[in-house]
Chains A and B, each alone.
Chain A
Amino acid sequence: NAGVMQNPRHLVRRRGQEARLRCSPMKGHSHVYWYRQLPEEGLKFMVYLQKENIIDESGMPKERFSAEFPKEGPSILRIQQVVRGDSAAYFCASSPSGGAGELFFGEGSRLTVL
């Protein structure tokens, strides 16, 4: 059973470009979460999605950031007009519906903005 798959693992963008990060949850998991880890900092929650629905986006910056989890295909975290401050590791996690279980994390996508 494959784990949470994230790609790309590393992404370099110039200021003003767009970054798209993809996440495929574990098989059978219908809940996806995105977290951001800035250098020397902990993990900050960004958004929680279920298929075709954003459940909680309280951690998403108001501008330039968006997320989706379509009926078919991976979840996408999109950052428009990237700035240097967006350089970070972005982690996706998934969980099954219900329960009180843990989150399963991917290996992360490391974004560098030049």
Chain B
Amino acid sequence: AQSVAQPEDQVNVAEGNPLTVKCTYSVSGNPYLFWYVQYPNRGLQFLLKYITGDNLVKGSYGFEAEFNKSQTSFHLKKPSALVSDSALYFCAVRDMLTGGGNKLTFGTGTQLKVEL
């Protein structure tokens, strides 16, 4: 079965510093990978996805992610963190095709805290 792992429950970073939120994956076949963000008491918002092509994927709000096949990783990055980036971040992988849908399996989430 497809799975992703987020090894850090929480990441703390100072505003203005670069941030990285880690994700590793385990899939059979080519991975379809996603990052989502969740603010308190809200739904999940899509940030970016990797399907194929360039290993560096750019997404919303200045976020980007680097796909590394040899390390089976898909880390989320941002060059300069903002306090408003503080939220819960989820990595996800698309499950094997069933009925043509896009069932995603999510990691356990990483709480990002950006401090002044």
Contact = CB atoms under 8 A, between A and B. Distances in A.
B32 A56 contact: no
28 contacts: A4-B43, A31-B100, A31-B101, A33-B102, A33-B104, A43-B90, A44-B106, A48-B98, A48-B103, A50-B99, A91-B43, A93-B44, A95-B101, A98-B100, A101-B102, A102-B49, A102-B102, A103-B44, A103-B102, A103-B104, A104-B46, A105-B36, A105-B43, A105-B45, A107-B42, A107-B43, A108-B41, A110-B41
Interface string B19-46: 0000000000000101010000111111
A31 B46 CA distance: 17
Interface of B: 32, 34, 36, 41-46, 49, 51, 90, 94, 98-109
B34 A55 contact: no
Contacts of B51: 100
Interface of B is mostly: loop
Contacts of A44: 106
A72 to B, nearest CB: 21
A15 B75 CA distance: 42
A45 interface: yes
A100 B32 contact: yes
A5 to B, nearest CB: 11
Given A42-B90, A105-B43, A55 B102 contact: no
B77 to A, nearest CB: 19
Interface in A30-48: 31, 33, 35, 41-45, 48
B42 A33 contact: no
A25 interface: no
A97 interface: yes
Contacts of A35: 106
B44 A56 contact: no
Contacts of B94: 100
